[in-house]
Amino acid sequence: MPEVIIVKDQDEAGELYARCVADLIKGKPDAVLGLATGSSPLAAYRHLAAMVKAEDIDVSKVRGFALDEYIGLPLTHPESYHSTIHRTVVEPLGLDPEKVHVPGDVLDGAPLEDGERIAHAGPAYDAAIEAAGGIDVQILGIGTDGHVGFNEPGSSLASGTRVKTLAEQTRVDNARFFDDDINQVPTHCITQGIGTILKARHLVLLAFGEGKAEAVEETCEGGVSAFCPASALQLHPHATIIVDEAAASRLRHKDYYKYAFEHKPALAGPSDQRPDRHIDMRSRTGAHDGWVPRLGDPSSHGAVIIAPRITYKEVGQYDSITRTDRRAGD
């Protein structure tokens, strides 16, 4: 199952995400980031922008792919996800806008009636992600009904990027971005499918507030079902769910999640103490000898741990980590 990390607030969650991604970019300058809109990722983006500036991280080669876009809104509309991603991610981080994409880039407000253009947009977007080498870290929010991206309840867990009809609850939730007027919220969208999302090498889902508690419970501790699309994260080899106490309030095993994170094996040490290597999953607990735990579940069958100077070996979806400098007794 996913690693569940319970934090005090959005800032603490944002720091965890930002450290993870900043270290990734340092080790892989052309990293591919999966980007989400909504309110949940905003603190994460702010902390990442601060780290990029403070640590003078070169982001000129970083690429990005957003989860979704409304159908019918021109790219210049202030609430289009093209505009939102540029306002909240591209500009603060200093990314190259030509390297950051949303599913609706090729549509630019095309109406549903423009069927041929819309029909080809989804497969073309999936092909572009694949051509970029796949997404390294995908940030996700979650809706009150368990949707991720715009994959509403009932969405296929094997789906690719395609056009979807928005649920009324999603339109109600998003009306806050449209002057609280649901009539301004589009009825359709183009979104990465659950199948596309699951191809990312690391998934990081953020959820805050009591309103997300039921969805978080179903995602983490319910059965895998198309009627809670986020529950598909249980199938991923490296998924991290970061929630505050309110969003975690219905989790039956939250005490264990806290204990597991506090006693996470220390797997990554300072780069001046350890050469580049793949990392075995060892049973040591606690941070000691200057070693620090990293975001990601080290017990999840070889999930990738993102840390400085780690060399990744792709087997399937980056699901194997082995040492490159194995020593006797390791």
What DSSP letter does each residue of 209-273 carry, written as one string? SGGGHHHHHHHHHS--BTTBGGGGGGG-SSEEEEEETTTTTT-TTHHHHHHHHHT-B--B--TTT
Catalytic residue among 68, 126, 136, 297: 68
Catalytic residue among 47, 147, 202, 236: 147
CA distance 222 to 209: 19
Q: Of 122, 1, 28, nearest to 310 (Cα)?
A: 28
CA distance 104 to 241: 27
Catalytic residue among 3, 15, 23, 152: 152
Q: Is 68 a catalytic residue?
A: yes
Other Cβ atoms closer than 10 A to 201: 24
Q: Is 263 a catalytic residue?
A: no
Q: Structure tokens of 285?
A: 């607990």
Q: Is 136 a catalytic residue?
A: no
Q: Structure tokens of 194?
A: 């659950």
Q: Is 96 a catalytic residue?
A: no
At 4 the three-state DSSP class reads: strand
Catalytic residue among 23, 136, 145, 217: 145
As annotated, the active-site residues are 68, 145, 147, 152
